[in-house]
Amino acid sequence: LESSLLTQPWASVRFGESTFLAKVCFRDTGYILLISDLSSVWYESADAEAVGQRSKELNKRLTVHVSSFLNHLCNLMCPLLAGQPGATTAFSCHRSPSGLRLHVKSELSGLPFYWDFHCCPAPLEMVSK
């Protein structure tokens, strides 16, 4: 996933009053997200097991396969990065000393869908690539 992320273009995204550069790569086996405000860089890499666990915690009423969650997240994030966020999707972010949390609120199969990207500071070697 990390090597695929390098080939993705950076996109400018806005959450509230803050503007970021972001890139993301989704696969059936997980995802990796890289986001920066040009003074800090954060990332999250999550495999299918982590996605399954978090989806159960955040979406107790939804019981779909992990690949469906990953596909839905991709369908929410990719238009955002292309400058065309979905009208029914809300994004917000919260910075803390330990990292950055990107919160997503949408719908999946007619039910509320929530997701939190838990981003921590990116390692120097990742940033330099």
CATH code: domain of residue 121: 2.170.210.10
Higher pLDDT, 125 or 34: 34
pTM exceeds 0.85 for this model: yes
Q: What is the per-residue pLDDT across 112-122, written as a single tens digit (0 to 9) for each?
A: 999 999 999 99
User: What is the three-class DSSP state of 23?
Assistant: strand
The percent of residues in the chain predicted with pLDDT above 70, rounded, is 99
Query: Where in the chain does DSSP place strands (E)?
Result: 11-15, 18-27, 30-36, 41-47, 90-96, 99-108, 111-121
User: Which range of residues forms the domain containing residue 96?
Assistant: 1-126
pLDDT (average), residues 19-34: 94
| C-alpha distance from residue 53 to each of 17, 57, 59, 66, 89 (Å) | 31, 7, 10, 9, 22
Examine the pLDDT at 104 and tell me if it is beyond 70: yes
Count of domains for the chain: 1
Tell me, what's the pLDDT at 1? 64
